[in-house]
A and B are shown apart, each in its own frame.
Chain A
Amino acid sequence: MASKSEEKIILGPIAFPKGILKKHIFETLETIFKRSVYIASPKLDLHPFFDPARNQYQSTAILKHFIKTTPKGGSKICLLVEEDLFIPVLTFVFGEAHMHGQFAIVSSHRLKEQYYMREEDLELLEQRLLKEIVHELGHTFGLVHCIDNRCVMHNSYSIEDTDHKGSYPCEVCFAELDKVL
Chain B
Amino acid sequence: MNDNVKILIVDDEMIVRESMQGWLEEDGYHVEVAETAEAALGMIGEKEFDMAFVDIKMPGIDGIELLKRLKDQYSTIDVVMMTAYASVNNAVEAMKIGAYDYLTKPFDPDYVSMMVRKIIARRQLEQENIHLKENIETALKHVHIIGESSAIKAILNQIEEVAPSDTSVLIAGESGTGKEMIARAIHYASPRRFEPLVVVSCGALPEGLVESELFGYERGAFTGAFYKKKGKFEAANGGTLFLDEIGELNPKMQVDLLRVLQEREITRIGSNKSITVDFRVLAASNRNLKGMVDEGKFREDLFYRINVFNIHVPTLRERMEDIPFLVEHFISTLRRQTGKQIEGITAQALNKLKQHGWPGNVRELQNAVERAFVTSKGKLITTEELAFLAPEKIPVTTSPSSSLAEIESMHIENVLKECDYNISMGAKVLGIDRTTLYNKMKKYGIEK
B-contacting residues of A (Cβ < 8 Å)?
1, 30-31, 54, 58, 60-61, 64, 86-93, 96-99, 116-117, 139, 144-149, 155, 157-158, 160, 168, 170-172, 174
Contacts and interface: CB of A to CB of B under 8 A. Distances in A.
A40 B18 CA distance: 27
A156 to B, nearest CB: 9
Contact of A149 (B108, B110, B196): B196
B142 A170 contact: yes
A99 B333 contact: no
Interface in B180-219: 184, 188, 193-194, 196-197
B16 interface: yes
Nearest to B13: A88
B404 interface: no
Given A89-B82, A144-B28, A1 B339 contact: yes
A149 B141 CA distance: 14
Interface stretch (B19-27, B152-160, B273-281): B19-27
B141 A172 contact: yes
A90 B112 contact: yes
B113 interface: yes
26 contacts: A60-B22, A64-B18, A87-B19, A87-B23, A88-B15, A88-B16, A88-B20, A88-B105, A90-B112, A96-B22, A97-B22, A99-B22, A116-B227, A144-B1, A144-B26, A144-B27, A147-B188, A147-B194, A148-B142, A148-B184, A148-B188, A149-B196, A157-B108, A168-B337, A171-B142, A172-B142
B343 to A, nearest CB: 16
Contacts of B106: 54, 86, 88-91
A60 B26 contact: no
Interface in B113-167: 113, 138, 141-144
A89 B107 contact: yes
A144 B196 contact: no
Contacts of A158: 110
Interface of B: 1-3, 13, 15-16, 18-20, 22-23, 25-28, 82, 105-110, 112-113, 138, 141-144, 184, 188, 193-194, 196-197, 226-227, 235, 333, 336-339
Contacts of A171: 142, 144, 333, 336
B333 A60 contact: no
Nearest to B143: A148
Contacts of B337: 31, 168
B120 to A, nearest CB: 13
B15 A97 contact: no
A92 B333 CA distance: 34
Given A117-B226, A174-B336, 4 more contacts: A60-B18, A144-B1, A149-B196, A157-B110
Nearest to B184: A148
A91 B112 CA distance: 11
B119 to A, nearest CB: 17
